[in-house]
Amino acid sequence: MTGHIVAFGEVLLRFATPGARLTVQCDALDMVVGGAEANVAAGLASLGHDVKMLTRLPSSPLGDKARAALNAAGIDTAHVGRDTGRMGLYFLESGAGLRPSSITYDRAGSVFATSKADQFDFASALEGARLLHLSGITPALGPGGVALAQAAVAAATSAGVPVCFDGNYRALLWDAWDSDPRSVLTDLMQSATVMIGNHRDISLLLGKAFSGDGSDRRREAALAAFEAFPKLQMIASTARHVVNSGHHRIAARLDARDAAHQTSEVDVTGIVDRIGTGDAFAAGVLHKWLQGADLVATAQAGLAYTVLKHTVPGDMCFLGLQELDAFSVSGGDVRR
Ligand SMILES: O=C(O)C(=O)C[C@H](O)[C@H](O)COP(=O)(O)O
């Protein structure tokens, strides 16, 4: 595979309550490195792709920790800038059964969120790239984040690099400032070739509800998005039914302009960690899409990688090609 992928976005430290404890019951929290775009980068790097992370981190032990985690995942960090300032954090109170997990962000004023577009060398990171991946989290950070996301897609467009945009709607971030997510996200979507998002994300973008049932509703939404966004070639989404926090049923769906494919549903039980599973889905889909695979194989890879991620603690999925390929035949038994 020639050419690299650029992932642009904020890298975070996550502090999670161990087991299913409430925060009030904990004296220590588990720390891992995450962040939506870095999670996609880690998945793609683990699947054998050449991936560069374009971000900025504090010049501090916390920034060192984040950069070391990116390197450990096999991600190129040559375009990771460093500066004095704070690290973006989030706190995860882990759920169980019918009590969902909850997230508290502590990322305002981070080095990434306060960066200016001219502090990133978009042109050199994107030179020779096959894809820019970014998400709706960067513009949700505030007016500065909107400017960063706009600069990233403008640089990709002028370099002729296709854009993958993951809606990743985070109400907690958009609601923290006087934001207009619809106009910001619609503008960014004009540059996207691939969208990761479902009919609800499309409803938000287009200010329109889709009335049909199940698959029909998703197709109706996809066709409306293809009409609104002329560059868009593929929309990838999961259909997730939550039974409880340890048991979900998941299918993968891909919509192209002239065809669609939805996989059958997989029962995912004994969930170890749900965070980062949307990013693993994106990585699995992009992995196959970049190879020019058909909709069926691409949807299957997205499904397999997201299902596998539910078994991996932490934000990032480090499973490789062998695990991805073995997924459908192993049945979960020990490999010896
Ligand atoms: O929320 C944010 O801003 C983050 O970046 C933290 C997490 O890494 C992603 O939210 C994971 O996203 P999912 O794959 O959809 O679970």
What letter would DSSP give residue 25?
Answer: G
Question: 80 in a domain, yes or no?
Answer: no
Q: Which residues contact 85 (CB under 8 A, 6 or more apart)?
A: 58, 109, 110, 111, 114
> How many Å apart are CA 154 and CA 20, to the nearest integer?
43
Q: Is the pLDDT of residue 249 over 60?
A: yes
Nearest residue to 266 (alpha-carbon basis) of 293, 286, 244, 238 = 238
- pLDDT of 328: 65
Q: Which two structure tokens, joined as six digits, stand for 277?
A: 């599973």
- pLDDT of 334: 62
Check if 319 has its Cβ closer than 6 Å to any atom of ligand 1: no
Q: What atom of ligand 1 comes closest to residue 137's alpha carbon?
A: 3
Give backbone dihedrals phi and psi of 165, rounded to 5 degrees, phi first. Answer: -115, 120
Residue nearest to atom 11 of ligand 1 (CA): 276
Residue nearest to atom 8 of ligand 1 (CA): 35
- Structurally, the chain folds into a number of domains equal to 1
Residue pointed to by tokens 């979507």 = 189
Question: 202 in a domain, yes or no?
Answer: yes
Note the pLDDT tens digit of each residue in 91-145. 999 999 999 999 999 999 999 999 999 999 999 999 999 999 999 999 999 999 9
Question: 156 in a domain, yes or no?
Answer: yes
- pLDDT of 329: 53
Q: What atom of ligand 1 comes closest to residue 10's alpha carbon?
A: 5
The predicted model gives 240-269 an average pLDDT of 94
Question: 191 in a domain, yes or no?
Answer: yes
Check if 279 has its Cβ closer than 6 Å to any atom of ligand 1: yes
Q: In 23-50, which positions are buried (b, 16+ CB within 10 angstroms) versus exposed (e)? A: eeeeeeeeebbbbbbbbbbbbbbbbebb
Q: Is the pLDDT of residue 333 over 90?
A: no
ipTM confidence score: 0.92
Question: 50 in a domain, yes or no?
Answer: yes
Give backbone dihedrals phi and psi of 243, rounded to 5 degrees, phi first. Answer: -85, -50
Whichever domain contains 296, its CATH number is 3.40.1190.20
Question: 29 in a domain, yes or no?
Answer: no
Q: Which two structure tokens, joined as six digits, stand for 325?
A: 């390929």
Note the pLDDT tens digit of each residue in 12-70. 999 999 999 999 999 999 999 999 999 999 999 999 999 999 999 999 999 999 999 99
Note the pLDDT tens digit of each residue in 269-327. 989 999 999 999 999 999 999 999 999 999 999 999 999 999 999 999 999 999 998 88
> How many Å apart are CA 95 and CA 40, to the nearest integer?
24
- The residue to mutate among 10, 12, 55, 166, having the most atoms of ligand 1 within 8 angstroms of its beta carbon, is 12
The CA–CA distances, whole Å, from 244 to 88, 138, 240, 252, 274 equal 29, 30, 11, 19, 12
Check if 317 has its Cβ closer than 6 Å to any atom of ligand 1: no
- Measured in Å, residue 97 CA sits from the centre of ligand 1 at 21
User: What percentage of residues in the chain have a pLDDT greater than 70?
Assistant: 97
Check if 262 has its Cβ closer than 6 Å to any atom of ligand 1: no
Q: Which residues contact 224 (CB under 8 A, 6 or more apart)?
A: 202, 206, 208, 210
- pLDDT of 127: 97
Range of the domain at 267: 4-9+35-55+121-326
275 three-class SS: coil
Question: 208 in a domain, yes or no?
Answer: yes
Check if 36 has its Cβ closer than 6 Å to any atom of ligand 1: yes
Nearest residue to 171 (alpha-carbon basis) of 162, 181, 161, 163 = 181
